[in-house]
Copies of this chain bind each other. A is one copy, B any other.
Amino acid sequence: MANIEARVLRGFRDYLPDVMLPRQRMLEVVSGVFESFGFSPLSTPALEYADVLVGKYGEEGEKLLYRFLDNGERDVALRYDLTVPLARLVDMNRDLVRPFKRYQIAPVWRAETPGRGRFREFVQCDIDIVGSDSLMADAECLAVGASVLEALGVSRFVLRINNTKLLTGLMHKIGVSSDAEQALLRTVDKLPKIGEARTRELLATESKLSASGVDAVFEFLRLKPEALDDYFVGNDVGLKGASELRTVLALARDLGVSDKVEVDLSIARGLDYYTGTIYETFLLDLESIGSVMSGGRYDTLLAMFGGEALPAVGISLGVDRLFSALQELGLVVAKASPTQVLVTVFDEGTRAASYAVAARLRQAGLNVEVFLGTGKLKKQFQYVDRKRIPFAVVSGPDELQRGEVTLKHMSSGEQTTFVWQDEAGIVSLAERVRAG
């Protein structure tokens, strides 16, 4: 075999246990919350026929597809997101009971230029409610988002909401031509990042707004939600947006999340996709990292395969960004091993007893390793320390014979003796370990 260099493609990465363990715990919490709201897991293939994906992501997105001819000369591509596969699946399974509430947590592939925080393979985590036009569905996404963050231990966050119909109403009102709408929305969307001065400049140059047009945009952005009806008198789409926004706010109150929800008329996200409510989520102690969860209502997108139009609303969690944020906030403990207790092996003669102790502790719900060998205790402790396993069971033959074990807390050196052959002894040992 030739001597091949072991290496990873740029933009791709291994997750070693110290990252993978807490990341997997985070995703378990997240999927637990999704399921607690009745969302079902779903899985779609990594590869799709290319024609299922092309034409869905714009010119820029299309260039990023991993597209190739397979061994049977089929034109195929790796999935670029989870939304187009969802649309395909819904079209192929019209008998799915609606509203269809699904979540999917899976990698997607985009041949981006890799850079700080930008990867060619990354995990998306989406929930969507398909087949309901009730604004209760829009509000439910807010409640799910808030519950996810709370379950992860984050308490200081805000879900900022807007409604694309308000932005459409604004553009009708100030007379933006339809081909300039996207540029205006993209500019408004950047406001928090680029500031008012630069936004004004771009509105004038890129969206060709007059000085009074630019002023009108900022007048709108400063409106209080309760002023929207007056502002949009005679403007149907604007009034509809105001009414929807008001209803979602009222539902958020009913859901008990209104203290986490805030109207932000500058949230834009691109009008070609979203058709109503749109969301972004910011962590108040780390606002600079940007939105960790965003989404909105898209009532036309799922018709892309020629089927009936299907109203849908969803929210997507930025897994990598949120995980980084939890790390920065000290809400993640890096662990190289799930093991809570290492049971040492004194010698060949006590090995069976070590196995029995380990089996009892596993039954009590602990993650337990038995040292693989019968080396010197010093060597066994080195392994415990290097793997940062918090506890070790160390027992000599006489002790084991008496039905006892000694639990050692590695960082403090504290040693406690437990009767391992008796249920109460195992329970109290497990409690000691869980106390950390």
Are B41's CB and A17's CB within 8 A? yes
Give A329-360 as 1s and 0s: 1 = Cβ < 8 Å from B's Cβ atoms.
Answer: 00000001111001000000001100110010
Are A40's CB and B68's CB within 8 A? no
**Of the candidates B14, B74, B88, which one forms a contact with A89 in the assembled complex, judged by CB atoms under 8 Å apart?**
B14
Give A356-397 as 1s and 0s: 1 = Cβ < 8 Å from B's Cβ atoms.
Answer: 100100100011111011000000000100110000000000
Q: Which residues of A, 375-431, contact B by the 8 Å Cβ criterion?
A: 383, 386-387
Are A42's CB and B16's CB within 8 A? yes
Are B35's CB and A136's CB within 8 A? no
Are A14's CB and B40's CB within 8 A? no
**Of the candidates B20, B66, B305, which one forms a contact with A4 in the assembled complex, judged by CB atoms under 8 Å apart?**
B305
**Distance of A383 from chain B, by nearest CB (Å):** 7
**Distance of A109 from chain B, by nearest CB (Å):** 7
**Distance of A14 from chain B, by nearest CB (Å):** 5
Residue of B nearest to A136 (CB): B372
**Of the candidates B43, B48, B49, which one forms a contact with A15 in the assembled complex, judged by CB atoms under 8 Å apart?**
B43
In the bound assembly, the distance between CA atoms of A40 and B18 in angstroms comes to: 9
Binds B, one of A5-13, A191-199, A206-214: A5-13
Binding site for B on A (CB under 8 A): 1-9, 12-17, 20-21, 24, 35-49, 51-52, 55-56, 63-64, 66, 68-72, 74, 76, 78, 87-89, 91-93, 96-97, 99, 101-102, 107, 109, 111, 121, 129, 132, 134, 136-137, 140, 143, 147, 251, 253-256, 304-307, 336-339, 342, 351-352, 355-356, 359, 362, 366-370, 372-373, 383, 386-387
- List residues of chain B with CB within 8 A of the CB of A307: 6
In the bound assembly, the distance between CA atoms of A42 and B20 in angstroms comes to: 6
Are A35's CB and B338's CB within 8 A? yes
In the bound assembly, the distance between CA atoms of A337 and B99 in angstroms comes to: 12
Are A9's CB and B49's CB within 8 A? yes
- List residues of chain B with CB within 8 A of the CB of A97: 336, 383, 386-387
Residue of B nearest to A121 (CB): B45
Are A373's CB and B336's CB within 8 A? no
Q: A1-B304, A21-B40, A55-B2 are in contact. Are A107 and B351 (CB under 8 A)?
A: no
Are A36's CB and B70's CB within 8 A? no
**Distance of A135 from chain B, by nearest CB (Å):** 9
**Distance of A60 from chain B, by nearest CB (Å):** 13
**Distance of A251 from chain B, by nearest CB (Å):** 8
In the bound assembly, the distance between CA atoms of A343 and B255 in angstroms comes to: 13
- List residues of chain B with CB within 8 A of the CB of A4: 51-52, 55, 304-306
- List residues of chain B with CB within 8 A of the CB of A254: 351-352, 355
- List residues of chain B with CB within 8 A of the CB of A107: 46
Are A1's CB and B55's CB within 8 A? yes
Are A256's CB and B359's CB within 8 A? yes
In the bound assembly, the distance between CA atoms of A46 and B55 in angstroms comes to: 24
In the bound assembly, the distance between CA atoms of A108 and B293 in angstroms comes to: 29
**Distance of A381 from chain B, by nearest CB (Å):** 13
